[in-house]
Structures are given as C-alpha cells and as structure tokens.
Amino acid sequence: MEHCDCYVLLWSPQAALSEIITEEVRQVRERANATNRPGIIPIQIGQVASVNSDLSDYLAGLQSWEWRSSTDAPAIVEAVQNQLIAPQQDNRLAEKDSSVLPALIPPDSPSTEPELPVGQVPLESTFYIERPPIEAQCYQEIAHPGALIRIKAPRQMGKTSLMARILDQARKQGYRTVHLSFQLAPSDVLGNVDKLMRWFCLCVSRSLRLPNQLAEYWDDIFDGNYNSTSYFEQYLLAASNSPLVIGLDEVDRVFAYPEIANDFLGLLRAWYEKARYGDSDSDTWKKLRLIVIHSTEVYIPMNLNQSPFNVGLSIELPELTLEQVQDLTQRYRLDWTLNQIEKLMRLVGGHPYLLRVAMYHVAHQTIAFEQVLEQAATEAGVYSDHLRRHLWNLEQHPELANAFSDVVTAKTPVSLRTILAFKLHSLGLVTLASNHVTPRCELYRQYFCEHPAMDEIELT
C-alpha cells in the first residue's frame, strides 16, 4: 500500500461492511490526500445495500465503476491504466461510464429488523439506546446562544450517532446545521493553519449551499484565524438570522499537529468568548453553536484561557448499563435471560458496538448465543473482522503494539507513557484510571494475549 500507484477496491456487499477494509481505505485516502498517490478506484460488485458510514465518508468525492460481467472489464482496465499514467487527475475518474458511490439513505419509517452496526446509528433506527440524561442535556444546551458541546469517547461508542441527533434537534428548531469530519481533511491542509482555515470555511459554505466568497474576505496581510473570523462574522453568520450549528467530528486529527492545533482550537475558544463580550458583535456570534467530537484526551499543552476543552458542556459517553443492555436485547427481539446478558457483558462490557454485533448475529440465527462466547476471541467468531482491524492497526504502530502487549499480559493495571495511553484509549483498546491502563474488555485481553502476531510485532 505504501508504494502502490493505484488502489483498486472491490466494492462487494461484504467489503462495504468490513471494519478492516474501512481502516485500510482510511489510510490509503490519507496518503493519497498528502501525496496524490495512490489513485483510488472503487469497483462495485453485486448489489450493495448497506455501507459502513465511515467508509462512505472516506470514499466521498470519488467515482465508482460497476462490474456486472466480463464486458465491463476493458473499461475498468483502461481506468486503472489512466490512474497509473495521470496522477494529476486527483484520484477522480472521468464522469463517463462511471457511477456515483452508493449512499446510505435513511428509510421512510423506523426499522424494526435487526440491523448490523455499520457506523452511525440512523436517526430512524429503533436500535439507538439513549443514555439519560445526556441527550436531554445536549438538546437543551444547543438552544443556548453561543453554545459549545464537547463529546469525548473512544471509537464506536456512539459519538457520531449522538451528534447526528443533536443536529437533528437543531434542524427541528429551524437552525442551519453543518456536519464536518476532519477525517476528510488532507494532511497538507492539516499541516498549515491558513490552508486549514480556508478548507474549514469553504466546507461550511458548501454545506450551507452558499457561494464561495473566500477571495473577497481573505487578505494576505492577515493570518488564517483573522481571515476566517471575518468570513464567519461578515458572511456565514450574517447570511441568515437563523443560528448556525456546526458539528466537528474526528477533531483528534488536528492533535497530531501541535502548533496548528493550538491556533485552531484557540480560535474555537475565541469564537465562543465573542458571544459573551456584550459588545455590538456579540449578537452575531451568539448564532454560532459548536459540537466538538474527539476520541482521546487532549495531550497538547494549551493555555487554559485559550482552550475550548474547559468551557461549554462536557459529555463523556459511558458504556451501557445492565438495564440499557436488557432494553437493547428486547429491541432485537431476543429472549435472553439475565444470566446470558451478564455473561456477554463480562466478555465485552457495556460497549454498544460489540453488544450489537453479537445481538445482530444471534437475532439472524447465524450463530447460537453459546457459540458467540466460545468463538469470540477466534478468527471464526463474530468479532473476527473487528479484532483483525485492531491487530492490523497495531502492526502499523509497533510502539503501540508493544505497549498494549504489556497491558493484556499483566495481572494488574499498567503505567504507560501518557501519549501511548491516550492513543490506545482513543482506539478503544484500554480504559484509563489515573495513570494506569487496563484492557477495555476481556475479549481484547483474550485475543491479543494469545495471538502469535503480537509476539512477531514485539520482535521488530
């Protein structure tokens, strides 16, 4: 992958739901954004009904070819050859003979059929479990002028699903809304504050279907923060009397660029404060409401008076309780005993995604409950794709793999370097308690403690 010129994704129904495929495409897209290589060509094979929402985001802006028979092969081969010859095409295929990637379209009515977790839980889904009083607090807060909501939790804990519901609540109030994932920001943009602010402003403009006015408001004598502030104050916020709610997802990506992060995060704090000055501009900035989502602690040293992480409403998503898991089993129409539920929770805790994976497969009668437990930490189990994604990720980062190996083999909590602990926590592999970490669940301890690949990583 690191040296290839063209990445061909066979877009099958199975690949569309695979976690490991999603992670691989994420890394390919990140590298392509930074170097314009490799070119990415998705080829749809068969009818794709459901798509992992993260995967759909990573493939946004690309065109997909559809393979139905051998007669389609020459055109696809030509497309691959063109990518090898012409990298300047910016990873996009020609419009002719191509089809847009399939999108997830919410159903007209709530679904009661057991649904496989594939990222964000759709708004209409009956399988979203509220965690009171979190939702009510967020709905109330977003109505406040100049609101800032910070949502923190490891991967697959439901952050984006919660944000989608906050944005939906805002739309019902007549507010303008924008969802922006920093996972879509190219590396060269994240590494330059002026480019980052241009990208940010243009993304918001396009989401609001407003003309690009960057040339009018951007003055080279000022920096990106000043220019973007003018762009928001004089254009985006002034364009309507309606409040503007912006949901910022995957903000963690900015943390890898400390100087840029300090500027950008400090700017969010400055905008939050502008709504509270009580001057002539405050009414304009009161229309801006921010939702910031991140997976890990902020390990960047920041001035407390400039950090957006000590103001506004802070939400840390907890695991599901026993009562909430019981509710979820009923929604999946599973007649499980309390003993069965407790056994599953001893294996995966109250992790919403891992619980739903087991419930989906049992509800569809693809595996018995007892087999879920017996095969959980093996390649034959329902978690094999999920566990392989984590293993593949650790193989790319030997230092993390070695640290995690110490965690899963230890009998007591382990003390790690702060940065390693934060990164493992953001991946959802460990829980943090003071300066010590433990495996997030028994499933991870069993799989990674016994997997021979972990030993091989340690030797590298």
CATH assignment at residue 411: 1.10.10
Burial 426-440 (b: 16+ CB within 10 A, else e): bbbbbbbeeebbbbb
Residue 1 in domain: no
Q: Are residues 74 and 168 in the same domain?
A: no
Q: Which two tokens stand for residue 211?
A: 């003309």
Supply the pLDDT for residue 362: 96
Select from 316, 343, 360 the last residue of a domain. Answer: 316
- Co-location of 146 and 15 in the same domain: no
Q: At 428, list the tokens.
A: 């959802």
Output b/e per residue, 317-333; b: 16+ Cβ within 10 A.
bebbeeebbeebbebbe
pLDDT digit string (tens) for the chain, length 460 residues: 667 888 888 877 777 778 888 878 877 877 776 676 787 888 888 777 677 767 777 777 777 778 877 787 787 787 777 777 765 444 433 333 333 344 333 334 444 566 778 788 999 999 999 999 999 999 999 999 999 999 999 989 999 999 999 999 999 999 999 999 998 888 889 999 999 999 999 999 999 999 999 999 999 999 999 999 999 999 999 999 999 999 999 999 998 899 999 999 999 999 999 999 988 899 999 999 999 999 877 666 777 778 898 999 999 999 999 999 999 999 999 999 999 999 999 999 999 999 999 999 999 988 999 999 999 999 999 999 999 999 998 998 999 999 999 999 999 999 999 889 989 998 999 999 887 999 999 999 999 998 877 877 755 5
Q: Say whether both 326 and 309 belong to one domain.
A: no
Distances (CA, A) of 162 to 122, 130, 151, 243, 431: 10, 9, 9, 20, 21
Residues 249 and 142 in one domain: yes
Q: Which residues pair with 291 in a beta bridge?
A: 149, 247
Please indicate, yes or no, whether residues 271 and 327 belong to a single structural domain of this protein: no
pLDDT value of position 1:
60
* 349 and 394 within one domain: no
Structure confidence at residue 256 (pLDDT): 87
Let me know whether 356 and 398 are in one domain: no
Domain total of the chain: 4
The predicted structure's pLDDT at residue 126: 94
The answer to whether residues 276 and 199 belong to one domain is yes
- Residues 81, 175 within the same domain: no
Q: Taking a C-beta distance cutoff of 8 angstroms, is the pair 407, 414 a contact? A: yes
Residue 447 is part of which domain span? 385-459
The reply to whether 430 falls in a domain is: yes
**Would you state the pLDDT for residue 34?**
65
> Which has the closest alpha carbon to 135: 99, 164, 108?
164
pLDDT at position 176 is 98
58 and 31 within one domain: yes
Q: Last residue of a domain, which of 100, 123, 158?
A: 100
Is 240 inside a domain boundary?
A: yes
Q: Contact at 8 Å (CB) between 42 and 7?
A: no
In a domain, 123, yes or no: no
Residue 13 confidence (pLDDT)? 76
- 141 within some domain: yes
> Contact 315/135 with Cβ under 8 angstroms?
no
> Residue 112 domain-assigned?
no
Domain with residue 139: its CATH number is 3.40.50.300
Q: What is the pLDDT of residues 362-374, one digit of tens each?
A: 999 889 999 999 9
d(CA 285, CA 51) in angstroms, rounded, equals 37
Quick one: pLDDT at residue 171?
98
For 368, the token pair is 């018995």
Helix axes 352-363, 384-396, angle to 10 degrees: 140
| 3-state SS assignment for residue 223 | coil
Which residue, 81, 100, 119, sits at the end of a domain? Answer: 100
Residues 247 and 274 in one domain: yes
Q: Are residues 66 and 164 in the same domain?
A: no
Query: Is the residue at 129 inside a domain?
Result: no
Q: How many helices (H) and strands (E) does the chain have?
A: 21, 12
Tell me, yes or no, whether 50 lies in a domain.
yes
